[in-house]
Structure 1
């Protein structure tokens, strides 16, 4: 193989390896757009979140947002200011974790959404972190401090 051709092939291979590493740049989390008191409360919450949840380091989110956060390679995600889940009904069962009431939807990922707060906070925890409520309990104090109840 001619030396020049070998250099071109090597350069292309290195570029592809570099692009493959870009997939680790962040976790996709749909970004809510709360405004008013909910937006202010959410900004306060995001700035107060811990660097680790369930032993997992925080990571970048895509798109970059003042209302989302993520931790771990199999990411635990948080979004503040989300809409009320369509499945939440007045008679839906709720779970209380560290003084915060949650509506829980189970699947491949367990999704916890706060109720009766100025802003809805949604935390999605993959089943690989079972019991999933442990990750949520680590964030309850920050939620209580930064997202006031509606009562």
Structure 2
């Protein structure tokens, strides 16, 4: 009887997260607010540990990824107000932070904007990631950045 064993190395968890090159501009990413927020980011979001980001790393960015190859969770700080965030837009409050869910062309991913801070913060995550990532990031946002009144765009038309 011959017994063979093989080890398959899965590099998905150690390879850097590659971000799309066509990402929205983040003009306030170098701001003190974003610097403070990034310093407050936890090493883990539930079962998503911090992941390296492929060079060049955009300012104001942090990522987490599980070892099973699941899509990463990506935080970006300092973006412009999302165009669809208008007066009357639906918001969800999570641990003291008001979040707006932006339209996302990828049905497997959701993108949330924290809209009640001096800078806009996005969190893009797999739809099946559960509530923990949004909750943990909301706690870090609350600790690092004071709340301010929301500033939605006027409704077009």
Which residue of structure 2 lines up, in the alignment, with residue 34 of structure 1? 28
Paired residues, what number?
A: 127
Which residue of structure 2 lines up, in the alignment, with residue 145 of structure 1? 143
- Aligned counterpart in structure 1 of residue 76 of structure 2, from 61, 76, 79: 79
Q: Give the number of the structure whose residues are more often helix, by fraction.
A: 1
RMSD, aligned CA? 2.4
* Counterparts of 1:49 and 1:117, CA distance in 2: 16
Structure 1 residue ranges (4+ consecutive) displaced by more than 3 angstroms after TM superposition:
none
Where structure 2 has 5 or more consecutive residues not aligned to the other structure, the ranges are 1-10, 150-157
Which residue of structure 1 lines up, in the alignment, with residue 38 of structure 2? 46
**Cα drift, residue 145 of structure 1:** 1.6
Which residue of structure 2 lines up, in the alignment, with residue 122 of structure 1? 122
- Aligned counterpart in structure 1 of residue 99 of structure 2, from 84, 102, 106: 102
Q: Is the 8 A contact 2:36 2:144 kept in 1?
A: yes
TM-score, scaled relative to structure 2: 0.71
**Cα drift, residue 89 of structure 1:** 0.9
Q: Is the 8 A contact 2:17 2:51 kept in 1?
A: yes
TM-score, scaled relative to structure 1: 0.73
For residues 104-151 of structure 1, what are the alpha-carbon distances to aligned partners after superposition, in whole Å with 9 as ceiling and x for unaligned? 13632111101121001100111231x2x3211011121012122224
Q: Is the 8 A contact 1:33 1:67 kept in 2?
A: no
* Counterparts of 2:26 and 2:121, CA distance in 1: 10
